[in-house]
Amino acid sequence: MAADGANCSQCGVEIPAGAPKGLCSRCLIKMDKPNDTKIEINGQSDTKSNISTKLNFFNHFGPPDPRELSGQFTDLEIISLIGSGSMGAVYQARQKWPLDRLVALKILLPEVAQDPTFAGRFEREAHSIAKLDHPNIIKIHTFGETRNGLFYFIMEFVRRDLRKVTKAAKLKPSEVYPIILQICNALQYAHQEGIVHRDIKPENILLRKDYRVKIADFGLAKLLGHSSAIPKLTETGRRMGTPDYMAPEQIINTHDVDQRADLYSLGVVFYEMLTHRLPPAEFQAPSEATSIDPRIDHVVQKMLERTVSARYQSADEVRDELEAILRGKTVIEKIDDHITRKPQHDSIDDRPRRLDSSGKLTQSVRKPSLSLHKSIQAGSIALVKAHIEYGSNLNVRKFFKLSPIETAARNNELEIVKLLYDNGAIVKDKDVFIQSILLGLPMLGRTTSLNSVTPAFLPEQIIEDYQAIRANLKLLGNNNIPRKLVITSPGMSEGKTTFSVNLATSMAESGLEVLLIDGDLRKPDIARLLNLPEGTRGLQDVLCGGKFKESVYYVKKTGLNVLAADFSVATDIYEMLTQPSTARIINAISKHYDHVIIDTPPVLGFPDTLIWSKISDHVIIVTYHGTTNNRDLKVTVKRLKEACANVLGIVISCVSKNWLYWNEPSSRQLKGYYTQIRDNDKVSRRKLMFSMEGSKAKSMVRDGLSPQNRN
């Protein structure tokens, strides 16, 4: 064994005490000796040939043909094999209707099924991995075991990994830094959740088209590393990982590694992205191979320290120091934002200047090395603040023709959205998505029309829209969808009635008892939309003392119960709603149903919604994309809160205004959701009719008739 202060006999680098055979970890893996050479690790000996065989054990895994797997995954259409590696094989697949989305199917090595303890450990570890919820970590949709004993994960699908991206084109340093910052964010989150990756490498770093990082295979190295069915590398455990990216302590003892092993692996990836080669045994500064800030050398070198205690101790430390460099500050300068900075240009008069805490002019503020859009893309609040301090244009459109605040909203960087807005970023008057973020309202979802999707996929897309909205309602309602929901909008023609019918239909078709109430007593929109028979009793009858069971209409095809409005009753509407008996009647009716959906008039038009909100549990605001303006949304939220209404969130309707509903004769009425379309300048009427249980969508279009305009 090597003594203290010894050097590797192969490459000459300094090695810690206890290094096996007097070699550094990299030379131990890569050494070229006869196959019968003995190697001692942690007191156990093995031959080089055995280590090589065991390291390459997974190369013998023959991934099943996609056709062989089809019978075991009936809800998936397995498209193709993406690749296989040390942990199994990954396939591109499509979840069948109604979800109809691309997913990645990961099959673990079949040998793990031979371990009697693996199934229980798989369930425990998989639950922990699936709970990871971070924008830079691949989302696990589901996991399990097939009837043939294959353990699998169904995950979010991202097409490209970092290896493929760097092979196609060399990344510039300005493109590398946002990727590293995003990885640091993901690692810090996972480490705080007690999960160490153990196999950070380019193949496990996936990139979307907008260069949003998604890290895959969190925790799988640990999961497979404990399986007794996989050949051992030593008596104390398996080296699960990729040798070129493994930390020295991970090679010596797999089980005694912590988050700092991931930081070492990230350092290798960082070095490789900058120089386009792996770091040599004797560290060479990346700035010698490429044009970068020499201060980056220190960050990379510290990440690659062989001694664990000399390395960064957390991903936050790496991110903070890298951000400080990109902001044009030293590590000490980042502590105090009010100190005087050295100018980076010949003249300070042509650079932005600001006042310090005492009101005096300071010297020039340095411009961050990373552009504003890329700083937002990296999720770096510190760099965005540096751009604001420097005086960067907060409204320039460069990244996919989006402004910085639109880029932040698209990447779900809520803090950055608010930061940019507070510092003068302009929000479009009708950008209700950003306005909802500024108002602190959750986005429940969007609805789809033929304006934004191919007609063949519209039925499935609408079903998926409402499934997602229901899932979000369940999350916001502490795992239960609120019992009584009021649906409203700021103004007219914003799709709230269509949304109310579709949401109620979606819930009814899932097996729930749902009552849809038309709370707009001024006009019977729901009765006409659902083509209820003439003379159907309405809500007014119930509020005036009639029996509600005689007034509720049951839609057999969807299982939806409807309490419509009867416009022929001339009772004063406001007086009727404000009667003390109204709340008692509605509360008594709601006990007979799982959920009650109440469609109400626009908040800015009538006071009805404010009255209904006092009877219900929560309110959902429906806005129309491109029509609802920010001022109307602000006033709507203000009025509802003044009435002590519990606003659950907003929905953005993408159905254009002034469309016409198509009413099918009752004899031909099928299960269905409603949408509206426009063909060029000609107004058409369409009702989409399809069942969540059916395999194909049916639609009927009729032109040339003259029904009345509906909201």
For residue 410, what is the enclosing H or E element?
helix 404-410
Name, of 170-184, 398-412, 617-631, the range with top average pLDDT: 170-184
CA terminus-to-terminus distance, the chain: 82
> Does the pLDDT value for residue 137 go beyond 90?
yes
Would residue 452 count as lying in a domain? yes
Domain containing residue 480: CATH number: 3.40.50.300
pLDDT score, position 17: 62
The model's confidence at residue 450, banded by pLDDT at 50, 70 and 90, is: low
- Section 375-395 average pLDDT: 89
Would residue 8 count as lying in a domain? no
Please report, as a single letter, which amino acid is at residue 651.
Answer: V
Give dist(CA 184, CA 315) in Å, integer.
5
pLDDT score, position 399: 64
Give dist(CA 409, CA 392) in Å, integer.
19
> Does the pLDDT value for residue 656 go beyond 70?
no
Gyration radius (Cα) of the chain, Å: 31
> Does the pLDDT value for residue 267 go beyond 60?
yes
The model's confidence at residue 241, banded by pLDDT at 50, 70 and 90, is: low
Residues 279 and 187 in one domain: yes
Contacts of 558 (CB under 8 A, 6+ apart): 505, 508, 509, 671, 672
Would residue 104 count as lying in a domain? no
The model's confidence at residue 677, banded by pLDDT at 50, 70 and 90, is: very low
Greatest CA separation for the chain: 99
pLDDT score, position 678: 39
CB atoms within 10 A of CB 562: 25
Residues 423 and 401 in one domain: yes
Strand order in the sheet with 101-108: 76-85, 88-95, 101-108, 151-156, 140-145
The DSSP 8-state label assigned to residue 394 in this structure reads T
Would residue 116 count as lying in a domain? no
pLDDT score, position 429: 84
Q: Which domain, by its residues, includes 184? A: 161-326
Residues 383 and 244 in one domain: no
- Whether 599 and 568 have beta carbons less than 8 Å apart is answered as no
**Is 77 in a helix, a strand, or coil?**
strand
Q: Which of 147-156, 335-344, 379-388 shows the lowest per-residue confidence on average (mean pLDDT)?
A: 335-344
For residue 108, what is the enclosing H or E element?
strand 101-108
pLDDT score, position 608: 87
pLDDT score, position 516: 93
- Section 83-87 average pLDDT: 76
Give dist(CA 218, CA 223) in Å, integer.
10
110-119 per-position pLDDT tens digit: 877 677 888 8
Cα-based torsion angle of the residue sequence 189, 191, 196, 198 in order, rounded to the nearest 10 degrees = 70
What DSSP string runs through 572-640? -HHHHHTSHHHHHHHHHHHTTSSEEEEE---TTT-SHHHHHHHHSSEEEEEEETTTS-HHHHHHHHHHH
> 68 φ, ψ to 5°?
-70, -30
Of 595 and 85, the structure prediction assigns the larger pLDDT to 595
> Does the pLDDT value for residue 637 go beyond 90?
yes
Q: Which of 156-160, 419-423, 537-541, 631-635 shows the lowest per-residue confidence on average (mean pLDDT)?
A: 537-541
Q: Which residues pair with 287 in a beta bridge?
A: none
269-314 per-position pLDDT tens digit: 999 999 999 998 888 999 998 889 899 999 999 999 999 999 999 9
CA 6, chain centre distance (Å): 48
> Does the pLDDT value for residue 693 go beyond 60?
no
Q: Which residues pair with 192 in a beta bridge?
A: none
Residues 263 and 411 in one domain: no
Of 216 and 343, the structure prediction assigns the larger pLDDT to 216
- Section 203-217 average pLDDT: 90
Would residue 401 count as lying in a domain? yes
The counts of H helices and E strands in the chain are 25, 22
Give dist(CA 210, CA 395) in Å, integer.
19
Residues 232 and 345 in one domain: no
E strands within 128-264?
Answer: 140-145, 151-156, 160-161, 205-207, 213-215
Q: Which of 341-355, 528-542, 556-570 shows the lowest per-residue confidence on average (mean pLDDT)?
A: 341-355
Would residue 181 count as lying in a domain? yes
Give dist(CA 622, CA 374) in Å, integer.
33
48-78 per-position pLDDT tens digit: 344 333 333 334 456 888 888 888 888 889 9
pLDDT score, position 332: 37
397-438 per-position pLDDT tens digit: 876 678 899 888 888 888 999 999 999 898 888 888 888 889
- Section 79-103 average pLDDT: 83
**Is 451 in a helix, a strand, or coil?**
coil
Q: Cα–Cα–Cα angle for 532, 533, 535, nearest 5°?
A: 115
Active-site amino acid positions: 199
C-alpha dist (Å) from residue 613 to 235, 244, 617, 639, 643 = 66, 61, 7, 11, 8
185-208 per-position pLDDT tens digit: 999 999 998 899 988 999 999 998
Q: Cα–Cα–Cα angle for 137, 217, 149, nearest 5°?
A: 130
Identify the CA nearest to 217 among candidates 236, 237, 245: 245
Identify the CA nearest to 204 among candidates 75, 104, 72: 104
Q: Both tokens of residue 508?
A: 């009814």
| Number of domains the chain contains | 3
The model's confidence at residue 178, banded by pLDDT at 50, 70 and 90, is: very high
The model's confidence at residue 465, banded by pLDDT at 50, 70 and 90, is: confident
Residues 383 and 509 in one domain: no
Q: Both tokens of residue 71?
A: 């019978």
Residues 404 and 463 in one domain: no
Identify the CA nearest to 244 among candidates 321, 192, 304: 304
User: For the chain, what is the mean pLDDT?
Assistant: 76
E strands within 137-266?
Answer: 140-145, 151-156, 160-161, 205-207, 213-215
576-617 per-position pLDDT tens digit: 888 888 889 998 989 999 999 999 999 998 888 899 998 888
Identify the CA nearest to 155 among candidates 201, 211, 87: 87
Where does a domain end: 326, 360, 382? 326
Where does a domain end: 373, 401, 429? 429
pLDDT score, position 410: 82
pLDDT score, position 230: 44
Q: Cα–Cα–Cα angle for 33, 34, 40, nearest 5°?
A: 70
Would residue 185 count as lying in a domain? yes
CB atoms within 10 A of CB 45: 11
The pTM assigned to this predicted structure is: 0.63
Where does a domain end: 326, 353, 383? 326
Residues 262 and 363 in one domain: no
Identify the CA nearest to 595 among candidates 442, 474, 489, 690: 474
Domain containing residue 227: CATH number: 1.10.510.10
**Is 106 in a helix, a strand, or coil?**
strand
Residues 317 and 344 in one domain: no
Would residue 487 count as lying in a domain? yes
> Does the pLDDT value for residue 19 go beyond 50?
yes
Cα-based torsion angle of the residue sequence 314, 331, 305, 232 in order, rounded to the nearest 10 degrees = 20
Name, of 192-206, 329-343, 566-580, the range with top average pLDDT: 192-206
> Does the pLDDT value for residue 324 go beyond 70?
yes
Contacts of 503 (CB under 8 A, 6+ apart): 466, 469, 470, 485, 487, 597
C-alpha dist (Å) from residue 571 to 103, 520, 525, 543 = 55, 13, 18, 11
Residues 528 and 596 in one domain: yes
> Does the pLDDT value for residue 698 go beyond 50?
no
- Section 249-264 average pLDDT: 85
> Does the pLDDT value for residue 699 go beyond 80?
no
Q: Both tokens of residue 422?
A: 């507070």
Give dist(CA 382, CA 215) in Å, integer.
23
- Section 648-661 average pLDDT: 65
Give dist(CA 207, CA 190) in Å, integer.
18
pLDDT score, position 70: 82
Structure-token match 């160490």, residue found: 196
Q: Both tokens of residue 234?
A: 């030593």
Residues 484 and 455 in one domain: yes
- Whether 313 and 260 have beta carbons less than 8 Å apart is answered as yes
Residues 378 and 503 in one domain: no
